[in-house]
Amino acid sequence: MNAIGKQVLVRAEQPYWNPYVAGIGLGLTLLVSFVALGVGLGASGSTARLAASAAHALAPEAVESNGYLGSWFASGSPLASYLVFLSLGTLLGGLLSALFARRIHATVERGRGVTPRTRLLLALGGGLLVGFASRMAAGCTSGQALTGSALLLGGSWAFLVAMFAGGFLVAPLVRKEWLP
Amino acid sequence: MNLFDQGLLDTPFGWSMSLLVGLAFGFWLERAGFGSSRKLASIFYLRDFAVVQVMFTAVATAALGLAALDVTGLFEVERVYRMETLLGPQIVGGLIFGAGFVAGGWCPGTALVGAASGKLDALAFLAASMLGSLVYAAFWPQLEPLQRVGDCGLVTLPGLFHVSAGVVAAVIVAVALVMFALIHRLELRTQRTATS
């Protein structure tokens, strides 16, 4: 391989964009979503629906008779929802951006205080809590903190404050996980 | 008119539009650096403020935009789907969510972007969050009565404080600017101690 070819391969990833530029881009995306779709952004609804349809394949009767999940199956598949397509787009948009910026690497991201195994266990534990809490609050950082706050909804601002409070309270307990 | 109030959101056209909006959403999250759990978690140790900077800039931009569209009569916010306030579940859910966010390093949207960037911890997080939503459904008979605690109906900040949406948006912008100024002072001080 010649020197130029090698240089292309090892070319470093691009820096992230300025947070205010990214914030304005995100805010305008949200505004377009309000005007064109009539709804804001969301993410946790689609993963819950994917989970429900996976559970349905294993135990259809139990899922259909469940008080929370049952209604999602009333009109066919829970995956036939705009929320699922919104998340497919999010995945694809993230992939394209990461590809252009040369930021795709198969890694377990962690601070230097933990092993990859511990980090994965904490990611599982955190995911469990977030999946549960997103159903309880009927939304996550996207649907509540971002969308609801921009719509000036009282409950979403309460969620936003509670979310940061929960994060700062638990942060000392997992300090090692994120040691720089 | 929008797809939601026309009942067209869950049609092939609505799905294609949602896919396009999602594409932009994922793009901006990744550009901001939110495909990295270390960057996201850093906000809880006050080492990197991008989460707050991006989130509040986005909220301020969208809120100002909505207020401007409303004043000019181009679009009314009443036509957007707005969730009712359930203070109990939103506060308790928010607290648990924050705990899971810092331990797991992701939230659902950023985990999608992280997974697309090859982060295996994002995949683990997503799989577990799916399980978490099923756990919630499994305990629905016990949780259902708690879901109605603090049911306040539709609560908006303009309604609560008897001011226009434009005033609330302006206050959000002002608070965001003060916060950003404080962040920059803090960053300057950290840089100075790092170099001295």
Query: A106 is written with which tokens?
Result: 């198969």
Mean pLDDT of B136-164: 97
Q: For residues B190 and B48, what is the distance between their CA atoms, to the nearest angstrom?
A: 11
Q: Is A146 on the interface with B (CB under 8 A)?
A: yes
Question: For residues B34 and B101, is the Cβ–Cβ distance under 8 A?
Answer: no
Note whether A70 and A122 are same-domain residues.
no
pLDDT attached to residue A1 = 45
pLDDT attached to residue A10 = 59
Count Cα atoms within 13 angstroms, Cβ side, for B156: 19
In chain A, residues 66-125 whose CB comes closer than 8 Å to chain B: 66-69, 80-83, 85-98, 101, 103-111, 119-120, 122-125
Q: For residues B2 and B75, what is the distance between their CA atoms, to the nearest angstrom?
A: 10
Note whether A85 and A174 are same-domain residues.
no
Q: Is B194 on the interface with A (CB under 8 A)?
A: no
Q: Which residue of A has its CA nearest to B18?
A: A86
Note whether A6 and A35 are same-domain residues.
yes
pLDDT attached to residue A9 = 54
Note whether A78 and A96 are same-domain residues.
yes
Q: For residues A35 and B77, what is the distance between their CA atoms, to the nearest angstrom?
A: 9
User: What is the average pLDDT score of chain B?
Assistant: 96
pLDDT attached to residue B103 = 98
Collapsing DSSP states into helix, strand and coil, what is residue A145? helix
User: Phi, psi (5° rounding) for residue B33?
Assistant: 100, 15
User: Phi, psi (5° rounding) for residue B152?
Assistant: -115, 5
Listed residue (B19, B56, B168, B34) closest to A24, CA to CA? B56
Mutate to test the interface with B, among A103, A115, A130, A144 (most CBs of B within 10 A): A130
Question: For residues A49 and A81, is the Cβ–Cβ distance under 8 A?
Answer: yes
Domains contained in chain A, number: 2
Note whether A137 and A54 are same-domain residues.
no
Note whether A101 and A134 are same-domain residues.
no
Listed residue (A100, A86, A142) closest to A14, CA to CA? A100
Pick the last residue of a domain from A106, A121, A149: A106
* pLDDT tens string B14-69: 999 999 999 999 999 999 999 999 999 999 999 999 999 999 999 999 999 999 99
pLDDT attached to residue B189 = 87
* pLDDT tens string B65-100: 999 999 999 999 999 999 999 999 999 999 999 999
Residues of B in contact with A105 (CB under 8 A): 117-118
Residue indicated by tokens 């966010």 = B101
Other Cβ atoms within 10 Å of B120 Cβ, number: 17
Q: Is B65 on the interface with A (CB under 8 A)?
A: yes
Question: For residues B66 and A136, is the Cβ–Cβ distance under 8 A?
Answer: no
Question: For residues A163 and A141, is the Cβ–Cβ distance under 8 A?
Answer: yes
Are A24 and B47 in contact (CB < 8 Å)? no
Mutate to test the interface with A, among B83, B120, B147, B171 (most CBs of A within 10 A): B83
Q: Is A53 on the interface with B (CB under 8 A)?
A: no
Note whether A73 and A25 are same-domain residues.
yes
Note whether A98 and A140 are same-domain residues.
no
Mean pLDDT of B138-152: 96
Q: For residues B28 and B36, what is the distance between their CA atoms, to the nearest angstrom?
A: 13
Pick the last residue of a domain from A74, A106, A138: A106
Note whether A48 and A128 are same-domain residues.
no
Residues of A in contact with B115 (CB under 8 A): 91
Q: Is B181 on the interface with A (CB under 8 A)?
A: no
Q: Which residue of B has its CA nearest to A142?
A: B109
Residue from the list B22, B101, B109 with its beta carbon closest to the beta carbon of A88: B22
Domain that holds residue A16: 1-106
Note whether A78 and A126 are same-domain residues.
no
Q: For residues B98 and A117, what is the distance between their CA atoms, to the nearest angstrom?
A: 22
Pick the last residue of a domain from A46, A78, A106: A106
Give CA separation, A27 vs A23, A24, B84, in Å.
6, 5, 22
Are A25 and B36 in contact (CB < 8 Å)? no
DSSP string, B102-128: HHHS--HHHHHHHHHTTBHHHHHHHHH
Residues of chain A falling short of pLDDT 50: 1, 5-7
Query: B47 is written with which tokens?
Result: 């080492």
Q: Is A142 on the interface with B (CB under 8 A)?
A: yes
Q: Does position B3 have pLDDT exceeding 60, yes or no?
A: yes
Note whether A140 and A99 are same-domain residues.
no
Note whether A126 and A177 are same-domain residues.
yes
Length of chain B: 196
Query: A59 is written with which tokens?
Result: 């135990």
Question: Amino acid letter at B58?
Answer: A
| ipTM passes above 0.95 | yes
